[in-house]
Amino acid sequence: MIAFVFPGQGSQYVGMGKDLLEVAGDLFKLAGEILGFDLAKLCIEGPQEELNKTENTQPAILTVSYALLREVLASGISPVFVAGHSLGEYTAAVCGGVFSFEDAVKITRKRGELMQKAQPEGVGSMAAVLGLDENILKQICESITDFYVDLANLNCPGQIVISGHTEGVKKASELAKQKGAKKVVPLQVSIPSHCMLMKDVAQEFEKYLKKFSFNNSKFPIVNNVSAEATEDAEAVQNALVKQLYSPVRWQDCVKYMISKGVNTFIEIGPGKVLSGLIKRIDPTVKTYNVESLNDLKSVKKEDLK
């Protein structure tokens, strides 16, 4: 059984989607018209600083991922489940026909703008904690009472991201090292994603989503919040809102799909982040990565079931 998985923010790089222009020029053009700038040029030529701005990054990754997805589906490969890491859940929703690509570009642009303005620069931050038990890290976060910090991404065994006030993240990082974390890596982000500091913008985002019509999904979407599958339009919409201020339970999402019989994961979009995480969650499953047309040719040669 095959699952399609889609990457989130952090997977972007200058040059992504370069070989897609011939087959997906229409998508880049449509997205560019919605956004008001040349998206293909930004993806392929940069500059990196502009591509890294969250309101640009989100529709850019979505467009490249969807362009690749369209080619994968056209090749005759289809999934039993779909899932995405944070932003990637929007590509999963487009894959399921929950909303159109055009609407997804507008929604991810708005999501990026709202996230950027959620907290003033420097107030919030995130850090990846490597090699520490989830329960210990949760206790550390709860022990810090003068600043807010909490678990944000439960990515794979030994890799958990914390998020919150910058001072809270610093304190938790120090305590994590004292408790035996192998390494703590501050993330190069200015936004404390997937924690309660995003609650206010989530409410604004929820109002914005009411402008769009949501359909039931053609494929079960395993959402980040509950790590369970749903095809229901309203449930998908609610999960996208909650995701802004709730932890991304990626490890649980992958385990859920494996428990339902998935043995092959195809990561569709820029980078290979999710393939690496999945291998650490369960080394016995097959993982493939499609971030170019050449990758798709290789995957098509495989005996996928």
Task: Give how many domains the chain has, as a whole number.
Answer: 2
Domain boundary at 186, 210, 233, which?
A: 186
Instruction: Return the pLDDT at 184.
Output: 97
β 286-290/264-268 pair status: parallel
Residues of the chain with pLDDT under 50: none
82, 223: one domain: yes
Q: Are both 273 and 132 inside the same structural domain?
A: no
Q: Residue 243 maps to which CATH number?
A: 3.40.366.10
End-of-domain residue from the set 186, 208, 226? 186
Which token pair is 37?
């700038």
Residue where one domain finishes, among candidates 143, 160, 186: 186
Written as one letter, the residue type at 17 is: G
**What does the alpha-carbon distance between residue 157 and residue 282 come to, in Å, rounded to a whole number?**
10
Report the pLDDT value the prediction gives residue 132, as an integer from 0 to 100: 97
The domain that contains 156 carries what CATH number? 3.30.70.250
Question: Which residue(s) pair with 81 in the sheet?
Answer: 3
Task: Specify whether the CB–CB gap between 112 and 58 falls below 8 A.
Answer: yes
pLDDT digit string (tens) for 90-145?
999 999 999 999 999 999 999 999 998 888 888 999 999 999 999 999 999 999 99
Catalytic residue among 11, 65, 194, 246: 194
Give the sign of the dihedral formed by CA 20, CA 25, CA 26, CA 31.
Answer: positive
- Residue pair 55/105 in contact (Cβ under 8 Å)? The answer is no
Residues 229 and 279 in one domain: yes
180 and 149 in a common domain: yes
Q: Report H helices in 244-302.
A: 250-259, 273-281, 293-300
The pLDDT of residue 258 is: 98
- Assess if residue 39 is contained within a domain: yes
**Helix count (H) and strand count (E) of the chain?**
13, 10
Whether residue 264 is contained in a domain is answered as yes
CA distance 92 to 205: 19
pLDDT confidence of residue 122: 83
Which of these is catalytic: 86, 125, 173, 193?
Answer: 86
**Domain assignment present for 191:** no
- In Å, how far are 113, 115, 163, 201, 227 from 205, measured between CA atoms? 10, 9, 20, 6, 22
What is the structure's pLDDT at 303? Answer: 79
pLDDT attached to residue 305? 64
Q: Is residue 257 part of a domain?
A: yes
Q: What is the pLDDT of residue 226?
A: 97
85 catalytic? Reply is no
Residues 22 and 110 in one domain: yes
* 163 noted as active-site residue: no
Please choose, from the candidates 85, 13, 4, 5, the residue with its C-alpha nearest in 3D space to the C-alpha of residue 50: 13
Query: Has this prediction a pTM greater than 0.75?
Result: yes
For residue 177, give its domain range.
124-186
Read off φ and ψ for residue 301, nearest 5 degrees: -80, -15
